[in-house]
Amino acid sequence: MSEYQSKMNLKDTQIAIKLLKDTFEEKLSNILNLHRVSAPLFVLRSSGLNDDLNGFEKPVSFNCKYIDNDDIEIVQSLAKWKRSALKRYNFSIYEGLYTDMNAIRKDEIMDNLHSIYVDQWDWEKIIDSKDRNLDFLYKTVCKITEALKQTEDILIEHYPFLERTIIKDVKFISSFELEDKYPTLTRKQREYTFCKENKVVFISKIGLPLKDNKPHDGRSPDYDDWELNGDLLVYSPFIDAPIEISSMGIRVDSKSLYKQLSIRNMLFKLNFPYHKQVINNELPYTIGGGIGQSRICMLMLNKKHIGEVQASVWDEDTLNNCKKENIELL
C-alpha cells in the first residue's frame, strides 16, 4: 500500500480548487491590470491563429457543413489570438486581457503532469517598444510570482494543513547559463537540479539553439521572441520534480518573426493574416503567456497527479498506477 494520502477528499478538493482559481484570477488581474474577456474554443485553420506549440502537435480539427474549403481547429493555445484581440478591442498601453483557455492536445503524453485536456489562464498585455527587454520581462515574472504568493496565503488561511510551495523569490537563469552550469546533464536534469536547489526559477531564452544546435525546449517561432521569453518553474516536494507553471514572453516584432520563421523553414506562414499584421507593424507590442490552472492547483493543494484536480480521460496504465499509489482521480 502506498504511503501517499491526499490531504483532502474529492468534495473538499473541488471546493478548494474554486477558491484557488477565483483568488488567483483576482490577484493576477489586479497586479497586471488585466480584464477578463471571452475567447474562442476553435478557429479557422486559414487564419493562422492557432498555436503550433513545439511544431509537431496536430490540433484536433473538424468540418462544418456551412463553411467550405476550410477546417476548424480546436485551439492549442491563444498566443496569437490574444494579440489580435487587444487591437480589435482598442486596449490601451499597459492594459491587457486574460481568459480561460480550454484545449485538447491529443498528442500530449499522459503522466502526473500532462493530460490531453489543458486548462490555463491565457493573458496578454500591451507594452511600449522600449519595454522589449529582459528587465521588463523579469519584472513581470516577479509580479506573477507575487500573485501566486498572495493566492497561497489565502489558501493556507482556509486550509492550514497545506504546505507552502512558493517559498522563495524567483531565481533567473538563461538556457545558455543553465547549459554552462550543468554541461554533462540532460535538459530535464538541468531543470530538476537547478529548481530543486532554488525552488522558484525562471529559465529564459527558450527556442534559441544551444551548443548542440538544439533549443533547451521547443517553442513555436511566431509568438514569443526567443531572446525575450522563458518558463516559470516551481519545485514540488510532493513529486520531487519541477512543475512548469507558466510559459511566457515578449512577443515577436517584424524582425524577430522573420528571423525565427527562417530558422524553422516556415516562411510560408507569412501568407497568414496574423503574420502579415506583425510584419507590417499593424499589431501592438505585447507581452503574454499561459498559466496552468490545474498545475497550480496540483502544486498548492499538495497533490501528486494532475488528474486529482482536473477531470480528464486516462489510459489503462495510468489508472492502474494511480490505484496502486492510492491516488484518487477526479
Query: pTM of the full predicted structure?
Result: 0.89
pLDDT for the residue numbered 229: 97
Distance CA 324, CA 320 (A): 6
Q: Is residue 120 annotated as a catalytic residue, yes or no?
A: yes
pLDDT for the residue numbered 1: 41
Amino acid at 136: F
Amino acid at 5: Q
Q: Is residue 51 annotated as a catalytic residue, yes or no?
A: yes
Q: Is-contact 175 206, C-beta < 8 A?
A: yes
Pick the catalytic residue from 26, 100, 146, 244.
244
Pick the catalytic residue from 25, 29, 51, 73.
51
For 8-40, how does the pLDDT look when each residue is reduced to its tens digit (9 = 90+)? 999 999 999 999 999 999 999 999 999 999 988
Pick the catalytic residue from 120, 174, 246, 312.
120
Q: Quickly list H helices, the chain.
A: 10-32, 79-88, 134-158, 175-181, 187-198, 254-263, 273-279, 293-300, 316-324
Pairing status of strand 200-204 against strand 171-174: parallel
For 143-152, how does the pLDDT look when each residue is reduced to its tens digit (9 = 90+)? 999 999 999 9
Strand order in the sheet with 224-236: 34-36, 96-104, 117-126, 286-292, 241-251, 224-236, 200-204, 171-174
pLDDT band at 56 (very low <50, low <70, confident <90, very high): low
Q: Is-contact 124 97, C-beta < 8 A?
A: yes
pLDDT for the residue numbered 216: 92
Distance CA 102, CA 122 (A): 10
Pick the catalytic residue from 105, 219, 251, 295.
105
Q: How far apart are the first and last CA of the chain?
A: 20
pLDDT band at 52 (very low <50, low <70, confident <90, very high): low
Q: Chain-wide mean pLDDT for the chain?
A: 91
Cα separations (Å) of 277 from 50, 87, 99, 194, 253?
Answer: 15, 11, 23, 39, 10
pLDDT for the residue numbered 89: 94
Taking domain 10-324, whether its CATH number is 3.30.930.10 is answered by yes
Q: What is the mean pLDDT of residues 204-208?
A: 94
* 135 Rama class: left (phi>0) / alpha (psi -120 to 50) / beta: alpha
Q: Is residue 164 annotated as a catalytic residue, yes or no?
A: no
Pick the catalytic residue from 77, 84, 175, 247.
247
Pairing status of strand 224-236 against strand 286-292: unpaired
For 209-226, how does the pLDDT look when each residue is reduced to its tens digit (9 = 90+)? 999 989 898 888 888 999
For 225-251, how does the pLDDT look when each residue is reduced to its tens digit (9 = 90+)? 999 999 999 999 999 999 999 999 999
Cα separations (Å) of 157 from 86, 149, 295?
Answer: 36, 12, 20
pLDDT for the residue numbered 54: 56
The residues, any chain, with a CB within 8 Å of residue 131's CB and separated by 6 or more, are: 250, 285, 287
Q: Is residue 105 annotated as a catalytic residue, yes or no?
A: yes
Q: What is the mean pLDDT of residues 257-274?
A: 91
Pick the catalytic residue from 52, 73, 119, 231.
231
Q: What is the mean pLDDT of residues 270-296?
A: 93
153 pLDDT higher than 80: yes
DSSP 209: B
118 pLDDT higher than 70: yes
Q: Is residue 231 annotated as a catalytic residue, yes or no?
A: yes
Q: Output the DSSP codes for 42-67.
A: EEEGGGT-S--TTTTPPPPEE--TTS
